[in-house]
């Protein structure tokens, strides 16, 4: 609790005019961002997946110390950069045996995904992707000429936490039969994976991952795994690095990480891959280097050094407690007040992905109409359709609890309990 008081997770951060897409893009034409609110409502940014909290003080300190020196010429990453990643992966994810040669810089997770795909596939090849899915995956895969084969996650009752089978809490699961059939019948050799899952919030167990890799090994599938959310887990959950599941997984997985989600650093740009298979990593690095675009920014390196420090770890631990409280509040509020809306409680990330299908049916509203109702009262949440959620909303909870409370109250008063049901 002392760390939570040490860091500021309660002030409402004014990001307007400070290069923040989350607030400055609201109301912009083009259909990507939420519409501007009506008069009388301020916008509560709950869409794009960055946080409305200040970053860790250790990050700002590291950047400011570096900018105190007036030269910013060509450079190579310091040994401390690799040492910080190795230490972070060991202490946070239980990874052992990681060496600097297995780590490579990527301008972003999607850039790393594309470099790996170009090594592993030909244009037009089929790629297995679980849906719902991160919109960045679908855009990159389609835009680069790959054929997406969707394997829908199952939305089924899990533990009856809410009392009895009828009140069982829904949980997202992999459909192993569907995965195997599509991999086999469509000759798929690459899977794009997300762990923890975005947007569904699942933190996959070791047993689930082992079952998936039995299929992947059987059909000689290589996995490209986005593990950028691995630091942001709910209480009691543990991230299992895919490469730790088996020897096959270790040598047939390209794992992609970054401090950007954890520390709110997307604007600085800077991700990294972990690849243990020497031949695979040399080919991925060669592919990434061909454009001469995949080069590290010196301030991005120092931001990582500040993030992956002991002080940065304390800040993350405090952040996770704040996010857990926000998730608990929002999930309980939605289940208590919004009839016709169901949701699986996220085990990781800071995003909710509620299914409003029954509410939409009961009230004669389309997904777009529901979203516009939310936007009009300043709850700037995200269209779930672009994530392959046909009746879903995507809601960012990484902001002060008072803002989450205000958003839930507006949704209650002006949206979910304000719209009369159509006459029979």
What's the pLDDT at 293?
A: 84
Q: What is the pLDDT of residue 378?
A: 98
What pLDDT is recorded for position 164? Answer: 34
Q: Which CATH architecture has domain 71-308?
A: 3-Layer(aba) Sandwich (3.40)
Domains 2-51+312-416 and 71-308 belong to one CATH topology: no
Residue appearing with tokens 């999930």: 331
Q: Tell me which DSSP letter residue 117 carries.
A: H
The whole-number pLDDT of residue 178 equals 98
Report pLDDT for 211. Answer: 98
The runs of H, that is alpha helices, within 94-245 are: 109-120, 135-143, 176-185, 206-218
Q: Residue 166: what pLDDT?
A: 47
User: Percentage helix, strand, coil, to 5, in the chain?
Assistant: 45, 15, 40
Query: Which pLDDT does position 405 carry in this prediction?
Result: 98
**Taking the alpha carbons of 336, 379, 407, 321 in that order, is the dihedral positive or negative?**
positive
> What pLDDT score does 157 carry?
72
Cα separation of 380 and 38, whole Å? 12
Beta-carbon contacts of 241 under 8 Å, excluding residues fewer than 6 positions away, are 89, 93, 94, 95, 227, 230, 255
Instruction: Provide block-wise average pLDDT over 10 residues at a time, the chain (424 residues).
Output: 78 94 92 91 96 98 98 96 98 97 96 96 96 97 97 79 52 97 98 98 98 98 98 98 98 98 96 98 94 90 98 98 98 97 97 97 96 97 95 98 98 90 55
**Cα torsion angle, 223, 226, 229, 230, sign:** positive
CA triple 332-152-32, angle to 5 deg? 70
Q: Where do the domains of the chain lie?
A: 2-51+312-416, 71-308
Q: Report pLDDT for 35.
A: 94
Q: Which architecture, in CATH terms, is 2-51+312-416?
A: Alpha-Beta Complex (3.90)
Residue 193 confidence (pLDDT): 98
Query: Residue 19: which region, alpha, beta or left (left: phi > 0; alpha: psi -120 to 50)?
Result: left
Residue 19, number of CB atoms within 10 A of its CB:
7
Counting every residue, how long is the chain? 424
Run of H or E residues at 9: none
Instruction: Report the pLDDT value the prediction gives residue 168, as an integer from 0 to 100.
Output: 66
Residue with tokens 């000689």: 220
Residue whose entry in the numeric block shows the structure tokens 């309980």: 332
Query: Under a CB-based contact definition with an 8 Å cutoff, are residues 308 and 87 in contact?
Result: yes
pLDDT for 22: 95
């Amino acid at each position: 609790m002392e760390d939570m008081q040490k860091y500021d997770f309660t002030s409402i951060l004014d990001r307007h005019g400070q290069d923040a897409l989350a607030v400055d893009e609201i109301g912009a034409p083009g259909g990507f961002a939420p519409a501007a609110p009506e008069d009388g409502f301020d916008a509560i940014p709950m869409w794009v997946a960055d946080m409305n909290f200040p970053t860790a003080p250790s990050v700002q300190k590291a950047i400011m110390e570096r900018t105190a020196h007036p030269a910013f010429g060509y450079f190579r990453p310091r040994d401390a950069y690799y040492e910080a990643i190795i230490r972070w992966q060991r202490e946070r994810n239980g990874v052992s045996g990681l060496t600097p040669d297995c780590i490579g810089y990527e301008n972003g997770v999607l850039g790393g995904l594309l470099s790996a795909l170009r090594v592993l596939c030909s244009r037009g090849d089929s790629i297995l992707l679980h849906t719902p899915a991160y919109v960045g995956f679908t855009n990159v895969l389609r835009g680069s000429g790959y054929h997406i084969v969707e394997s829908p996650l199952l939305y089924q009752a899990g533990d009856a936490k809410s009392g009895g089978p009828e009140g069982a809490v829904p949980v997202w699961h992999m459909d192993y039969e569907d995965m195997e059939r599509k991999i086999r019948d469509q000759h798929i050799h690459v899977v794009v994976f997300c762990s923890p899952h975005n947007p569904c919030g699942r933190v996959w167990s070791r047993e689930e991952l082992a079952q998936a890799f039995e299929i992947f090994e059987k059909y000689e599938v290589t996995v490209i795994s986005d593990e950028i959310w691995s630091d942001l887990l709910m209480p009691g959950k543990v991230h299992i690095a895919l490469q730790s599941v088996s020897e096959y997984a270790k040598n047939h997985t390209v794992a992609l990480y970054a401090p950007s989600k954890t520390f709110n650093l997307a604007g600085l740009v800077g991700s990294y891959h972990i690849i243990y298979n020497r031949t695979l990593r040399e080919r991925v690095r060669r592919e990434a280097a061909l454009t001469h675009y995949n080069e590290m920014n010196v301030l991005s390196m120092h931001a990582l050094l500040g993030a992956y420090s002991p002080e940065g770890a304390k800040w993350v631990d405090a952040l996770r407690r704040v996010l857990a409280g926000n998730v608990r509040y929002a999930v309980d509020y939605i289940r208590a007040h919004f009839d016709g809306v169901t949701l699986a409680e996220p085990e990781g990330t800071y995003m909710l992905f509620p299914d409003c299908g029954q509410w939409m049916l009961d009230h004669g509203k389309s997904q777009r109409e529901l979203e516009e109702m939310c936007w009009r009262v300043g709850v700037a949440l995200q269209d779930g359709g672009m994530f392959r959620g046909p009746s879903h909303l995507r809601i960012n909870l990484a902001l002060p609890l008072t803002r989450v409370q205000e958003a839930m109250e507006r949704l209650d008063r002006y949206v979910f309990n304000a719209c009369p049901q159509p006459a029979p």
